[in-house]
Amino acid sequence: MDTRPVGVFDSGLGGLTAVRQLTACMPEERIVYFGDTGRVPYGSRSRGTIRRYARQDAAFLLSQDVKMIVAACGTVSSVAADLGQELPVPFLGVLGPTAQAAAAATRTGRIGVIGTTATIRSGSYRRALAAIDPAFQVFDRDCPLFVPLVENGFFAPDDPIPRLTAERYLAPLREADVDTLILGCTHYPLLLPVVAQVMGPGVALIDSGRETALACRRFLQEHGLEAPAGQEGGRRFFVSDRTEGFASIAQTLLGESLEGSVEHIDIENFPCAGAEDR
């Protein structure tokens, strides 16, 4: 048993798809969330920049005395998966749990992956899926407009803007006849109804935020790190830019008022010590 909070970070709102699920399956856990809203998006940046940001995000969460760090960010999980080796607490990314869930869901072995440009460029999902079964056929596509759409609140299923964007991005994956589609960026589950409409009912959609939350629960239980029964859970949110914009979209997403629980921090005050990157 461990009363300390779980630390979760993302470039912005996307990691809340993991927080939503964490709260549903472990209501007694305390969660500290950091959304790097001042530097979102990560997915269009260089590997070195993403790794530097990820180290600073982790350093901030460590300052909050967390018992575990969850990178609820496909981009960080893809290009800084080794960050855990530098940390004094367990580290979990989205890649492994999401790839496993897709492998379990597919019937035909034809798996689609959508993610940020950095994630797709890294080939991380291709490698993770091939390690599970080399016979899988993987079709991937970056969707760089999805993160800004979500960050600006354009994710309602009846909104033509995300719908048209999704039709454009997903056309090759429909043509490839995938039976499973990994939403490899944690922002994308917010567009899940739109993606489901475009892909049609025969395609299993794998929500990386949800799978990561379930993996986090398994890890805490297996390592005796879960919160004691009866502990009052709670969430604190930190962002690196304006708190208002984040709070209003986040509360729609989480279905509760976040008034007073979103705080601003200066992420540049946190160290990015570690091996140099390009």
| Beta pairing partners, 205 | 181
Residue (94 or 198) nearer to ligand DGL, CB: 94
From 207, 213, 175, select the one nearest 192 (Cα to Cα): 207
Select the residue interacting with ligand DGL from 147, 178, 215, 262 (CB under 6 A). Answer: 147
Select the residue interacting with ligand DGL from 21, 119, 122, 165 (CB under 6 A). Answer: 119
10 binds ligand DGL (CB under 6 A): yes
Backbone angles phi, psi at 14, to 5 degrees: -55, -40
Distances (CA, A) of 174 to 145, 161, 202, 269: 19, 19, 11, 45
Q: Alpha-carbon dihedral of residues 236, 242, 57, 14, nearest 10 degrees?
A: 80
- Which range binds ligand DGL by CB under 6 A, 34-42, 166-174, 221-229, 253-261? 34-42
- Which range binds ligand DGL by CB under 6 A, 39-47, 126-134, 166-174, 228-236? 39-47
Q: Is 185 a catalytic site residue?
A: yes
- How many CB atoms sit inside 10 A of residue 46's CB? 12
Residue (5 or 14) nearer to ligand DGL, CB: 14
Provide the minimum distance between the beta carbon of 237 and ligand DGL in the complex, in angstroms, as a whole number: 15
Q: Is 73 a catalytic site residue?
A: yes
240 binds ligand DGL (CB under 6 A): no
- Which range binds ligand DGL by CB under 6 A, 35-43, 221-229, 252-260, 261-269? 35-43
**CA dihedral over 188, 190, 194, 197, signed as positive or negative:** positive
Q: Alpha-carbon dihedral of residues 77, 110, 17, 212, nearest 10 degrees?
A: -50
Residue 248: both structure tokens together = 């209003």
Residue (113 or 227) nearer to ligand DGL, CB: 113
Select the residue interacting with ligand DGL from 56, 98, 116, 122 (CB under 6 A). Answer: 116
Provide the minimum distance between the beta carbon of 224 and ligand DGL in the complex, in angstroms, as a whole number: 29
Nearest-10 crossing angle of helices 124-132, 95-105: 50
Question: Would you name the residues annotated as active-site residues?
Answer: 73, 185
